[in-house]
Amino acid sequence: MNPDIAVLGAGSWGTALAILLARNGHRVRLWGHEPAAMQAMASAGENPDYLPGIAFPPGLEAVADLEAALAAEDLLIVVPSHAFREVLQQIRDRARTLGRILWGTKGLEMASGKLLHQVAAEVLGEQVACAVVSGPTFAREVARGLPTAATVAAPDPAVAGHFAALLRGETFRAYTSDDSIGLELGGAIKNVLAIAAGISDGLGFGANSRAALITRGLVEMMRLGEALGGQRETFMGLSGIGDLVLTCTDDQSRNRRLGLALGAGRSRAEAEAEIRQVVEGADTAREIHNIGRAHAVEMPICEQVYKVLYEGHSPQAAVHDLLAREPKPETLG
Ligand SMILES: NC(=O)C1=CN([C@@H]2O[C@H](COP(=O)(O)OP(=O)(O)OC[C@H]3O[C@@H](n4cnc5c(N)ncnc54)[C@H](OP(=O)(O)O)[C@@H]3O)[C@@H](O)[C@H]2O)C=CC1
Ligand SMILES: O=C(CO)COP(=O)(O)O
């Protein structure tokens, strides 16, 4: 029997969403690009690499055959942003017969800095109905069935409503929005700010510094978000401040952990080798630096993260530069 939903990307977030959907009673195929890993998942009845100890519910099948997965009516793409275009290209020939597509990827296209809906429109054309899901959603907590809320955005309210209904269940509340730009930018920028919060804590600073970074970081998110067409209100919601607080304050965040390591004097390479999962904010910091400059948007915290990652700036010098900025009135614009 054909599945209802295919999830492309079998890391922690793809697996957690597949588990959530199967628990909601849907037939789900989870596809990953490594046949041996998918075989191991099918035999173990869990994802031993990314979510060990959480059993797949009935209705969830792990597959390595992309064609078999694409027989589904709805598609979820949950690969890292660096693989987003490549995966879309793999399914492009089926674009005309594909139903709706939702993605859970948080980031911008590397090098081009494009938002993911722009990449989707380029590869698949405008006719495919697309949506994005974002919010404060650690994969492991969702997979464990801990109460979680997120937002699904699409230009077409029927598409957002459709995916929100698929995701909604006893432990998952899904809101809807028409602000795909705001959701995509909030999810990308919060990763850079989580690195900043991690650096601050890694340097041994306290709760005051973290709260200041979150608050002024939100202002940076709103500045760039509005400049690129996002709605101000979106950044005050789950996909904005919600995800920002989550990832700046909890060590489950890989971006925060990268920052912690940098603040403690370790290199990016050492930290990423230890985390062994995607840390989207490291690439995103460069794209945000370029986009912020191009739009003349002031983003001092994101700028310092960029300098630490790409210009050899020390975390201590970054803090000094932030504190030495010209005094000014506190504005939220
Ligand atoms: N984890 C979380 O809590 C959340 C993550 N997200 C976002 O979801 C996205 C995915 O992150 P997450 O699942 O956590 O990352 P993980 O590092 O846990 O897993 C990434 C997965 O993508 C696979 N992959 C890499 N390249 C390709 C490719 N070219 N084609 C197909 N699959 C590929 C990896 O395979 P392999 O193992 O072979 O490398 C791995 O299975 C990110 O944008 C992240 O920001 C959003 C919300 C929550
Ligand atoms: O986006 C996330 C939770 O909402 C996951 O954050 P990290 O990628 O920092 O782990």
Q: Which of 7, 17, 33 to mutate to test the pocket of ligand 1 (most atoms within 8 A of CB)?
A: 33
Read off the DSSP letter of residue 175. E
The alpha-helical segments, DSSP class H, found in 171-326 are 180-202, 207-227, 232-235, 243-249, 254-263, 268-275, 280-294, 300-310, 315-323
Whole-model pTM: value is 0.98
Contact (CB, 8 A) for 78 and 87? no
ipTM: 0.99
Cα 206 to ligand 2 centroid, rounded to whole Å: 22
- What is the token pair recorded at 331? 């504005």
Question: Which bound ligand lies closest to the C-alpha atom of 14?
Answer: 1
Q: How far apart are CA 299 and CA 301, in angstroms?
A: 6
Question: Which bound ligand lies closest to the C-alpha atom of 242?
Answer: 2
Q: Tell me whether residue 31 is annotated as binding.
A: no
Question: Within the chain, which residue ranges are assigned CATH 1.10.1040.10?
Answer: 179-322
The residues of the chain scoring below 50 in pLDDT are: none
Burial of 178 from C-beta contacts in 10 A (0-12 / 13-18 / 19+): middle
What does the angle CA 107 – CA 233 – CA 138 come to, to the nearest 5 degrees? 40
In this prediction, residue 121 carries a pLDDT of 95
Selecting from 3.40.50.720, 3.40.50.880, 3.10.20.30, 3.40.30.10, what CATH number does the domain 3-177 have? Answer: 3.40.50.720
Q: Tell me whether residue 11 is annotated as binding.
A: yes
* SS3 of residue 114 by DSSP: coil
Question: Within the chain, which residue ranges are assigned CATH 3.40.50.720?
Answer: 3-177
Q: How far apart are CA 246 and CA 241, in angstroms?
A: 8
Read off the DSSP letter of residue 327. P
Q: How far apart are CA 259 and CA 203, in angstroms?
A: 9
> From the alpha carbon of 257, which atom of ligand 2 is closest?
9
Does ligand 1 lie within 6 Å of residue 298's CB atom? no
Whether residue 190 lies in the annotated active site = yes
In this prediction, residue 321 carries a pLDDT of 94
In this prediction, residue 286 carries a pLDDT of 98
In this prediction, residue 1 carries a pLDDT of 75
The CATH number of 179-322 is: 1.10.1040.10
